[in-house]
Structure 1
Amino acid sequence: MPRSGWAREPQLLSLHVLSLCSVAGEATKESPQDSAITRDINRTFPAHDYFKDTGGDGQDSLYKICKAYSVYDEEIGYCQGQSFLAAVLLLHMPEEQAFSVLVKIMFDYGLRELFKQNFEDLHCKFYQLERLMQEYIPDLYNHFLDISLEAHMYASQWFLTLFTAKFPLYMVFHIIDLLLCEGISVIFNVALGLLKTSKDDLLLTDFEGALKFFRVQLPKRYRSEENAKKLMELACNMKISQKKLKKYEKEYHTMREQQAQQEDPIERFERENRRLQEANMRLEQENDDLAHELVTSKIALRKDLDNAEEKADALNKELLMTKQKLIDAEEEKRRLEEESAQLKEMCRRELDKAESEIKKNSSIIGDYKQICSQLSERLEKQQTANKVEIEKIRQKVDDCERCREFFNKEGRIKGISSAKEVLDEDTDEEKETLKNQLREMELELAQTKLQLVEAECKIQDLEHHLGLALNEVQAAKKTWFNRTLSSIKTATGVQGKETC
């Protein structure tokens, strides 16, 4: 059973195990309190995993120990609340050791004395507690006198069950540890610590409010391990001498003797009867509270169980859906990987094809550029030669007096009227010669211009084809890159969803 880090390891296992008959042997005998034991077993730590199952190992072992003790100690038998102490011991050791330690606490630590002689020793402990309150917490002691609240009304379980019935287990473990080391007087230290830490709240209550505070609010306060730790530190720092306790015990017995001498036996018996009836009513009330707590705990556990089952069903459905989604995602991933591989292969082929086309087109363009360069050079040479030839002809025309009359300064033929006049004077043979030469020159010039135009057209056509090829290569690269990038993004998105 896990305990808090501040609690010392209990000394239960280091105790000398008494040479007693085994639990199994005592549990086989008949017990007059068997029905009370059976009734209390289900009410002992009903929310604890070890004791919550009816007929489980925890309840079975607890029943054996309580029944064995009731048979072993016939004078005391089984007392209500004894099952809580036995359950705490069972959380630390096997049945036989737990039974032996229970007997050790009852006999050697004086716990069984509280149950004898109509709880006479228990009332002595109440008197001692009130006298200690009067000394250590006088204002709270006076307030309890004002509202007629006596120690037996709130401290019975503290002494009879050693705080095991109401308080959290990590606090109870430490109290039992201190009790085994220091003795039963430790109960006074813890009780005064509880009263001191709760003084401010108790001073504001009336009789009913104080009883409710002890029954409900006080145990809830120490569900916090920090509060329980502070309480234990306060209890350990309190110094209550045995001499003082002996003094208060002597005062109580002296007071009881005086009351016995002064009281009529019938009145004393009636008073004792009323006190026992009050104690019985209080125990029945506590019993009802425990039963109500048990029923409430069972209802809460059933609701929690139903909610847990509903959540489990919902989680199972969600798990199945998630598994199906995972299968679909893996299938989609596999398909996308195959498609990606195909796209990569296709893009690789297209790229190789485009690169070969680029090389081929580059070669063609280079050839065309070379041809165009050659044609341009030829054209320039031809133009230069034509200019030279034209200059020669002009020079000859200028040198010829008769030819000069047919041409103007720009080298063009003069008007028809003037030409006719000149032609009448020239011979037909010279005219025809000049005309033929001019036609040949114009024809050669026209052919040269035509070749230049054709070369320019071829260059433009080649440049157009080159642009188309470059666009196709760029489109192929872009399409391959976009498809590859889209495939990678899709695959990455699927993997991200799977990871989430």
Structure 2
Amino acid sequence: MSLPTMASPTLSPDSSSQEALSAPTCSPTSDSENLSPDELELLAKLEEQNRLLEADSKSMRSMNGSRRNSGSSLVSSSSASSNLSHLEEDTWILWGRIANEWEEWRRRKEKLLKELIRKGIPHHFRAIVWQLLCSATDMPVKNQYSELLKMSSPCEKLIRRDIARTYPEHEFFKGQDSLGQEVLFNVMKAYSLVDREVGYCQGSAFIVGLLLMQMPEEEAFCVFVRLMQEYRLRELFKPSMAELGLCIYQFEYMLQEQLPDLNTHFRSQSFHTSMYASSWFLTLFLTTFPLPVATRVFDIFMYEGLEIVFRVGLALLQVNQTELMQLDMEGMSQYFQRVIPHQFDSCPDKLILKAYQVKYNPKKMKRLEKEYAAMKSKEMEEQIEIKRLRTENRLLKQRIETLEKGQVTRAQEAEENYVIKRELAVVRQQCSSAAEDLQKAQSTIRQLQEQQDNPRLTEDFVAHLETELEQSRLRETETLGALREMQDKVLDMEKRNSSLPDENNVARLQEELKALKVREGEAVASARELKLQLQELSDTWQAHLSRGGRWKESPRKLVLGELQDELMSVRLREAQALAEGRELRQRVVELETQDHIHRNLLNRVEAERAALQEKLQYLAAQNKGLQTQLSESRRKQAEAECKSKEEVMAVRLREADSMAAVAEMRQRIAELEIQREEGRIQGQLNHSDSSQYIRELKDQIEELKAEVSAGPPRPAREGLRARRVLPEGERAGRSGRRRGPRPRGRRRTPSARRFPAPGAAVEGPAALRGPAGLRRAGPGAAPG
């Protein structure tokens, strides 16, 4: 492995950024006084090399405009290379001394150390310097790491699913079950067991992946634990994501204060801050910039915390304000996804310079934090109040339902009371009618008494009674005549029934006849009883007549006669009532007889109906059989038609398969031609030094691939599917590049991030997914 070079401001073609970043190294006089003579000499050499490289870079830019000075340009390039090698050696010595004398540098030379970190930590020193910056060298949790790996975590399934999406193009993490994926799984699992409240969040895997690129897994685990505890990352990755909401609130305030026009444009387009800035805070630009640029930002984050995220984010918006003001929401989303990440690939120092030109006031950020906390507490109180009001509303609804049920019950009770009142009114009416009857009876008794007191009235009353007796005898005679007529009718009916030819109804008619005879016997018995009662009445009447001449003999006999007269009148009324009852009973018997006759007639009609119903069922069954035969014939006809259609479809499918095979062979031929062309171009690239010629060849390769990709596409591998939204041309080009085996020597750049677009719509911090809202997997989260 070759020795990596330090990302220094002296490598930037922007002289203003070099001067701005190199000047602070000698500006603090107090730090220079504390340096040893060797360190002062080393710093002087660094400054001299910076000035030489600055002059060389200016001369190179002036030489590139003229073809005549190509020789001097080569000489200056060689001198720049030699100066760069000396600078790398001096930087290596300086950072080695810083690592060995860390406490002294941290205590006495803090400003100088800060400027050196802003210029970038050399690659081979990052592991030890990062551990020293976060004080993760001696942590108790390091001894627990091996024990944690033996335990099981509820987040293992989510971690296994997401590790393949973490730096998928990096060699260390490429391939399923690779070493990088295994150690990344171990660190994420161990932390999910140490901090069960946070558990696992997808964005944290990118931070751990960067640490694993620099140091072993145990040291990376300790550094990650320290970052979560001391750098506000734990609050960012909690299930509530309250800290992310605070960061978005502070960033929006800075945007409104420093870039009001751009902020107004964002609001007019409904382009919320969380749609592009959430991934900046959650992954510290690791999913936004290529690794060299993102690592420079991470160096400063390790020393200064989240302040660098605010500065870099606002610097990006300042640089691209003019372009963003001309785009709509979709265009801004595509711009954040494709243009901004690669603006500073060749000059990360320019990005750092722009970031430290942004105004950042820690006191104001503290005030915003208090305002956000007050606002959130107020929102929480409002939510509690809303919850209380909802509870009260639910209770009121339940009370209303109870009252409605009570109202229904009262309505039922009112209806029952109304019915009872009606019944009571009927009873009262009956009572009043009974009282009227009683009054009538009392008046009748008074009239009878008056008649008994008056002999003339008594004679009239006796005559009236004789008249009524004669009428009752006439009615009895009529009743006997009607009875004889009924007997004659019964005999006539018996004769008719005997003459009927239907033998099946003989038993039924006999039963009817027996019932009629029984009723006739009852009528005869009633007539006999009535005769006996009439006889008794006649005897009593004769006895009354015989006593009529002696009424005035004595008062006692007079009273006795009155009582006998009253008893006689009562018996007469009783006999009259019995006669009426007998008549009514006879009428009931007649009606029952008619009802019995009608029932028999109805039974006969029902028997005929049953016979007709059986015949109808037989005809229906016959019709059903015919319908079944008809449906069977239709089904056979449909099966024959389907069979013919299937044969035609099979012929068409075979034709389509043959056409697909031909198209696939043509696609394979095109892919082989692309591979041959790429091999030839790769050979040319290996022997060429001109950057312009390289770019032209790359453009030609992309055009050839785009032409080939116009053919029928094949399914892409699901495990490496890009998650960003691509335009039609680029999507076709990439689908074409994925077909077939990858040619050797090709290597994808780390900038190809498979992370959701920063323009993905996000409603709030708690609903963020991907970079704008990562899936939560805490203690209560079910593994996917």
The counterpart of 1:19, out of the listed 140, 152, 174, is 140
Note the alpha carbon deviations across 1:197-247, whole angstroms, 9 max, x for none.
22122111222222232233322334x222x32111211333412101011
The verdict on how the C-alpha distance between 1:89 and 1:290 changes in structure 2, with shifts beyond 3 A counting, is farther
Offset at residue 59 of structure 1 (A) = 1.4
Offset at residue 304 of structure 1 (A) = 8.6
Offset at residue 258 of structure 1 (A) = 3.6
The verdict on how the C-alpha distance between 1:207 and 1:309 changes in structure 2, with shifts beyond 3 A counting, is closer
Residue 744 of structure 2: aligned partner: 308
Q: Secondary structure at the match of 1:176?
A: helix
State how many pairs are aligned: 291
The counterpart of 2:185, out of the listed 63, 66, 89, is 63
Residue 80 of structure 2: aligned partner: none
Aligned amino acid, residue 80 of structure 1: Q
The verdict on how the C-alpha distance between 1:262 and 1:25 changes in structure 2, with shifts beyond 3 A counting, is closer
The verdict on how the C-alpha distance between 1:179 and 1:300 changes in structure 2, with shifts beyond 3 A counting, is farther
- Counterpart CA distance in 2 for 1:53 and 1:298 is 19
Aligned amino acid, residue 295 of structure 2: F
Report whether the alignment pairs 1:5 with 2:7. Answer: yes
The counterpart of 2:284, out of the listed 162, 170, 174, is 162
Residue 264 of structure 2: aligned partner: 142
The verdict on how the C-alpha distance between 1:52 and 1:2 changes in structure 2, with shifts beyond 3 A counting, is farther
Note the alpha carbon deviations across 1:172-194, whole angstroms, 9 max, x for none.
11111101111222211111112
Residue 358 of structure 2: aligned partner: 238
The verdict on how the C-alpha distance between 1:302 and 1:149 changes in structure 2, with shifts beyond 3 A counting, is closer
The verdict on how the C-alpha distance between 1:309 and 1:95 changes in structure 2, with shifts beyond 3 A counting, is closer
Offset at residue 288 of structure 1 (A) = 8.0
Report whether the alignment pairs 1:75 with 2:197. Answer: yes
Offset at residue 291 of structure 1 (A) = 8.3
Conserved? CA contact 1:162–1:176, under 8 Å: yes
The verdict on how the C-alpha distance between 1:25 and 1:137 changes in structure 2, with shifts beyond 3 A counting, is same
Offset at residue 68 of structure 1 (A) = 1.0
Offset at residue 148 of structure 1 (A) = 1.8
Report whether the alignment pairs 1:116 with 2:238. Answer: yes
Conserved? CA contact 2:269–2:328, under 8 Å: yes
Where do residues 144-223 of structure 1 align in structure 2 (5 Å cutoff)?
144-222=266-344
Where do residues 87-486 of structure 1 align in structure 2 (5 Å cutoff)?
87-116=209-238, 118-222=240-344, 224-226=345-347, 228-262=348-382, 290=723, 306-308=742-744
Offset at residue 265 of structure 1 (A) = 5.3
Note the alpha carbon deviations across 1:286-334, whole angstroms, 9 max, x for none.
x9854889x9999788669543399xxxxxxxxxxxxxxxxxxxxxxxx
Where do residues 480-499 of structure 1 align in structure 2 (5 Å cutoff)?
none
Note the alpha carbon deviations across 1:90-115, whole angstroms, 9 max, x for none.
11111111110011111111111113
Conserved? CA contact 2:280–2:288, under 8 Å: no
Offset at residue 118 of structure 1 (A) = 1.4
Q: Secondary structure at the match of 2:266?
A: helix
Q: Secondary structure at the match of 1:106?
A: helix
- Counterpart CA distance in 1 for 2:187 and 2:380 is 39
- Counterpart CA distance in 1 for 2:333 and 2:385 is 32
Aligned amino acid, residue 225 of structure 1: S
The verdict on how the C-alpha distance between 1:47 and 1:30 changes in structure 2, with shifts beyond 3 A counting, is same
Offset at residue 267 of structure 1 (A) = 8.2
Aligned amino acid, residue 743 of structure 2: N
- Counterpart CA distance in 2 for 1:193 and 1:43 is 28
Aligned amino acid, residue 346 of structure 2: E
- Counterpart CA distance in 2 for 1:81 and 1:296 is 29
- Counterpart CA distance in 1 for 2:389 and 2:745 is 58
Residue 353 of structure 1: aligned partner: none
The verdict on how the C-alpha distance between 1:269 and 1:58 changes in structure 2, with shifts beyond 3 A counting, is farther
Offset at residue 80 of structure 1 (A) = 1.1
Q: 232-241 or 132-141: which moved more?
A: 232-241
Offset at residue 253 of structure 1 (A) = 2.2
Aligned amino acid, residue 140 of structure 2: S
Q: Secondary structure at the match of 1:149?
A: coil
- Counterpart CA distance in 2 for 1:292 and 1:101 is 35
- Counterpart CA distance in 2 for 1:47 and 1:297 is 18
Q: Secondary structure at the match of 2:288?
A: coil
- Counterpart CA distance in 1 for 2:292 and 2:299 is 11
Conserved? CA contact 1:37–1:78, under 8 Å: yes
Aligned amino acid, residue 121 of structure 1: E
Conserved? CA contact 1:148–1:207, under 8 Å: yes
- Counterpart CA distance in 1 for 2:319 and 2:156 is 39
The verdict on how the C-alpha distance between 1:262 and 1:73 changes in structure 2, with shifts beyond 3 A counting, is closer
- Counterpart CA distance in 2 for 1:217 and 1:29 is 44
Structure 2 portions without partners, runs of 5+: 9-118, 391-719, 747-784
The verdict on how the C-alpha distance between 1:144 and 1:288 changes in structure 2, with shifts beyond 3 A counting, is farther
- Counterpart CA distance in 1 for 2:152 and 2:278 is 29
Q: Secondary structure at the match of 2:254?
A: helix
Structure 1 portions without partners, runs of 5+: 271-286, 311-500
Aligned amino acid, residue 171 of structure 2: D
- Counterpart CA distance in 2 for 1:298 and 1:27 is 39
Task: Supply the RMSD in Å over aligned alpha carbons.
Answer: 3.3
The verdict on how the C-alpha distance between 1:268 and 1:153 changes in structure 2, with shifts beyond 3 A counting, is farther
Conserved? CA contact 2:192–2:198, under 8 Å: yes
Offset at residue 8 of structure 1 (A) = 1.5
The verdict on how the C-alpha distance between 1:2 and 1:51 changes in structure 2, with shifts beyond 3 A counting, is farther
The verdict on how the C-alpha distance between 1:134 and 1:27 changes in structure 2, with shifts beyond 3 A counting, is same
Offset at residue 65 of structure 1 (A) = 0.9
Conserved? CA contact 1:8–1:174, under 8 Å: yes
TM-score (norm 2): 0.34
Note the alpha carbon deviations across 1:466-500, whole angstroms, 9 max, x for none.
xxxxxxxxxxxxxxxxxxxxxxxxxxxxxxxxxxx
Q: 105-114 or 158-167: which moved more?
A: 158-167
- Counterpart CA distance in 1 for 2:745 and 2:246 is 53
- Counterpart CA distance in 1 for 2:156 and 2:736 is 29
Offset at residue 260 of structure 1 (A) = 4.0
Note the alpha carbon deviations across 1:355-375, whole angstroms, 9 max, x for none.
xxxxxxxxxxxxxxxxxxxxx
Aligned amino acid, residue 70 of structure 1: S
- Counterpart CA distance in 2 for 1:3 and 1:296 is 37
Aligned amino acid, residue 130 of structure 2: L
Aligned amino acid, residue 62 of structure 1: L
Residue 772 of structure 2: aligned partner: none
Aligned amino acid, residue 363 of structure 2: K
The verdict on how the C-alpha distance between 1:79 and 1:309 changes in structure 2, with shifts beyond 3 A counting, is closer
Offset at residue 12 of structure 1 (A) = 1.0
Conserved? CA contact 1:31–1:70, under 8 Å: yes
TM-score (norm 1): 0.53
Offset at residue 165 of structure 1 (A) = 1.9
Conserved? CA contact 2:246–2:372, under 8 Å: yes
Conserved? CA contact 1:4–1:170, under 8 Å: no
